[in-house]
Chain A
Amino acid sequence: MVKIAHLIPLFPFLAFVVNILFGRRLKGASAWVSVLASGVSLALSVVVYQGLLAGQGPYDLGKWLTINGLPIHFGVSVDSLSVMMLLVVTIVGTLIQIYSIGYMHGDPRYSRYFAYISFFMASMLGLVLADNFLMVYIFWEGVGLCSYLLIAFWFERPAAAKAGMKAFITTRIGDTGFLLGIFLLFIATKTIYFSDLSHIVPMVGSEWMLTAAALLIFCGAVGKSAQFPLHVWLPDAMEGPTAVSALIHAATMVAAGVYLVARTYSLFVLNSFCLETVAVIGGISALMAASIATVNNDIKRVLAYSTISQLGLMMLGLGVGGYSAGTFHLMTHAFFKALLFLCAGSVIHAVHTQDIQKMGGLLSKMKVTGTAFIIGTLALAGVPPFAGFWSKDEILLAAFQSGHPFLFGVAVLTSFLTAFYMSRLIFLVLFGKPRSSLHAHESPKTMTIPLMVLSFFAVFVGLLGSPLTHHAFQNFIFFGAPSVEEGQASGAMMMFSTVLSLSGIGLAYVVYIVGNKILPVNIRARFAPFDQLLLNKYHFDEIYDAVFVRPCLKLCDLFSQFDRIVVDGMVNGTARVVQWFSAVLRPLQTGLVQHYLLIQFLGVIVLILTVMGKLCFRF
Chain B
Amino acid sequence: MIPLDYFVVLGAVLFCIGIFGVLTRRNVIGVLISIELILNAANINLVAFNRYLGTPDGLGQIFAIFVIAIAAIASVVGLVLIIAIYRNGKSVFLDHFNLMKW
Q: Which of B75-100 contact A (CB under 8 A)?
A: 94-95, 97-100
The reply to whether the CB of B102 lies closer than 8 angstroms to some CB of chain A is yes
Q: What is the CA–CA distance of A591 and B94 in the complex, to the nearest angstrom? A: 10
Contact A594 B23 (CB under 8 A): yes
Assess A597 versus B100: contact at CB under 8 Å? Given A592-B94, A592-B95. no
Across the interface, name the chain A residue whose C-beta is closest to B100: A591
The reply to whether the CB of B67 lies closer than 8 angstroms to some CB of chain A is no
Contact A590 B101 (CB under 8 A): yes
Contact A593 B97 (CB under 8 A): yes
1/0 per residue, CB under 8 A from B, across A294-314: the answer is 000000000000000000000
1/0 per residue, CB under 8 A from B, across A595-619: the answer is 0011001000000000000000000
The reply to whether the CB of A589 lies closer than 8 angstroms to some CB of chain B is yes
Contact B98 A590 (CB under 8 A): yes
Q: What is the CA–CA distance of A593 and B23 in the complex, to the nearest angstrom? A: 9
The reply to whether the CB of B22 lies closer than 8 angstroms to some CB of chain A is yes
Q: B95 to nearest A CB, angstroms?
A: 6
Measured as residues with beta carbon below 8 angstroms from the partner, the interface class of chain A is 10 to 19
Q: What is the CA–CA distance of A593 and B99 in the complex, to the nearest angstrom? A: 10
The reply to whether the CB of A517 lies closer than 8 angstroms to some CB of chain B is no
Contact A591 B98 (CB under 8 A): yes
The reply to whether the CB of A554 lies closer than 8 angstroms to some CB of chain B is no
Q: Which residues of B contact A601 (CB under 8 A)?
A: 19, 23
Q: What is the CA–CA distance of A589 and B98 in the complex, to the nearest angstrom? A: 9
Contact B99 A591 (CB under 8 A): yes
Q: What is the CA–CA distance of A29 and B47 in the complex, to the nearest angstrom? A: 91
The reply to whether the CB of A63 lies closer than 8 angstroms to some CB of chain B is no
Q: Which residues of B contact A598 (CB under 8 A)?
A: 23
Q: What is the CA–CA distance of A586 and B102 in the complex, to the nearest angstrom? A: 7
Q: What is the CA–CA distance of A597 and B31 in the complex, to the nearest angstrom? A: 12
Q: What is the CA–CA distance of A598 and B101 in the complex, to the nearest angstrom? A: 16
Q: What is the CA–CA distance of A394 and B19 in the complex, to the nearest angstrom? A: 109
Contact B22 A589 (CB under 8 A): no
Q: Which residues of A contact B102 (CB under 8 A)?
A: 586, 589, 591
Q: Which residues of A contact B23 (CB under 8 A)?
A: 594, 597-598, 601
Across the interface, name the chain B residue whose C-beta is closest to A589: B102
Q: What is the CA–CA distance of A554 and B77 in the complex, to the nearest angstrom? A: 70
Q: Which residues of A contact B95 (CB under 8 A)?
A: 592, 594
Contact A592 B22 (CB under 8 A): no
Q: Which residues of B contact A586 (CB under 8 A)?
A: 102
Contact B101 A597 (CB under 8 A): no
Q: A602 to nearest B CB, angstroms?
A: 10
Contact B22 A594 (CB under 8 A): yes
Across the interface, name the chain A residue whose C-beta is closest to B95: A592
Q: A578 to nearest B CB, angstroms?
A: 14
Q: Which residues of A contact B100 (CB under 8 A)?
A: 589, 591, 593
Interface centre among A590, A593, A598 (most CB of B within 10 A): A593
Q: Which residues of A contact B22 (CB under 8 A)?
A: 594, 597
Contact B94 A594 (CB under 8 A): yes
Q: What is the CA–CA distance of A589 and B100 in the complex, to the nearest angstrom? A: 8
Q: What is the CA–CA distance of A517 and B24 in the complex, to the nearest angstrom? A: 107
Q: Which residues of A contact B98 (CB under 8 A)?
A: 590-592
1/0 per residue, CB under 8 A from A, across B25-68: the answer is 00000010000000000000000000000000000000000000
Q: A199 to nearest B CB, angstroms?
A: 77
Across the interface, name the chain A residue whose C-beta is closest to B25: A594
Q: What is the CA–CA distance of A108 and B22 in the complex, to the nearest angstrom? A: 74
Q: Which residues of A contact B101 (CB under 8 A)?
A: 589-591
Q: Which residues of A contact B19 (CB under 8 A)?
A: 601
Q: Which residues of B contact A593 (CB under 8 A)?
A: 94, 97, 100
Q: A102 to nearest B CB, angstroms?
A: 68
Q: Which residues of B contact A592 (CB under 8 A)?
A: 94-95, 97-98
Q: What is the CA–CA distance of A47 and B19 in the complex, to the nearest angstrom? A: 97
Q: What is the CA–CA distance of A160 and B19 in the complex, to the nearest angstrom? A: 79
Q: A580 to nearest B CB, angstroms?
A: 15
Q: What is the CA–CA distance of A461 and B95 in the complex, to the nearest angstrom? A: 97
Q: A596 to nearest B CB, angstroms?
A: 8
Q: Which residues of B contact A589 (CB under 8 A)?
A: 100-102
Q: A591 to nearest B CB, angstroms?
A: 3
Q: A601 to nearest B CB, angstroms?
A: 6
Q: A70 to nearest B CB, angstroms?
A: 62
Q: What is the CA–CA distance of A589 and B94 in the complex, to the nearest angstrom? A: 15
Q: A436 to nearest B CB, angstroms?
A: 74
Q: Which residues of B contact A597 (CB under 8 A)?
A: 22-23
Across the interface, name the chain B residue whose C-beta is closest to A586: B102
Q: What is the CA–CA distance of A594 and B94 in the complex, to the nearest angstrom? A: 8
Q: Which residues of B contact A590 (CB under 8 A)?
A: 98, 101
Q: Which residues of B contact A591 (CB under 8 A)?
A: 97-102
Across the interface, name the chain B residue whose C-beta is closest to A585: B102
Q: What is the CA–CA distance of A590 and B99 in the complex, to the nearest angstrom? A: 9
Q: Which residues of B contact A594 (CB under 8 A)?
A: 22-24, 31, 94-95
A-B pairs with beta carbons under 8 Å apart, 23 shown: A586-B102, A589-B100, A589-B101, A589-B102, A590-B98, A590-B101, A591-B97, A591-B98, A591-B100, A591-B101, A591-B102, A592-B95, A592-B98, A593-B100, A594-B22, A594-B23, A594-B24, A594-B31, A594-B94, A594-B95, A597-B22, A598-B23, A601-B19
10 closest cross-chain pairs (CB), A and B: A591-B101, A591-B98, A591-B100, A589-B102, A598-B23, A592-B98, A594-B23, A586-B102, A589-B101, A594-B94
| Residues of A near any B CB (own CB < 8 A) | 586, 589-594, 597-598, 601
Q: A589-B102, A590-B98, A591-B102 are in contact. List 7 more A-B contacts (CB 8 A).
A: A591-B101, A592-B95, A592-B97, A594-B94, A594-B95, A598-B23, A601-B23
